[in-house]
Amino acid sequence: MSSPTAAPPRPDVVVRLCRSERQRAAHFAVRRAVFVDEQAMFAGDDRDERDARITTMHAIGITGGGVAGAVRLYPLRGGEWKGDRLAVVPQARHGALGARLVRFAVANAGARGGTRMVAMIQLPNVAFFESLGWQRDGATVAFHGRPHQPMAIALTPRA
């Protein structure tokens, strides 16, 4: 018998690291659709110098046969990792894709020796992150012109 809080894996949702330029382009297209076109947090493009660093990992979420989500993650210092630019296109927000992307980022950072992951979360998404085990990590701050809640989660490094 399975736990009532454990959702079964959804075979129609796949999350993976980008393995080609085509997948990276799809990753950036999702981010642009959410952060530039929908939310107007950035003008023209949300890419920054972090995207070009070799230590930055870009992941995509695929559902319904197409790329509908993205997240990036990268090491900071001393076992700390940052997850950011989590984006899911509006038509895919009521399924498991967002949670799968967050869990994927957390698992990958832990697998690479990380001990803690931090993120800046838009206020409407704080409860969602709390439901995934994240905790508030300080006072709300302005980030890219919007109020964000710093949050963190302990990582489980894999042997």
- Strand-pairing partners, residue 154, are 116
Is 130 inside a domain boundary? yes
CB 119 within 8 A of CB 84: yes
- Does a structural domain hold residue 8? no
pLDDT string in tens for the chain (159-residue length): 433 444 445 558 999 999 999 999 999 999 999 999 999 899 999 999 999 999 999 999 999 889 999 999 999 999 999 999 999 999 999 889 999 999 999 999 999 999 999 999 999 999 999 999 999 999 999 988 899 999 999 998 775
Q: What is the CATH number of the domain that holds 97?
A: 3.40.630.30
- Domain range for residue 35? 13-154
pLDDT of residue 94: 87
For the chain, what is the domain count?
1
> What amino acid is encoded at 96 in this protein?
A
Is 91 part of a structural domain of the chain?
A: yes
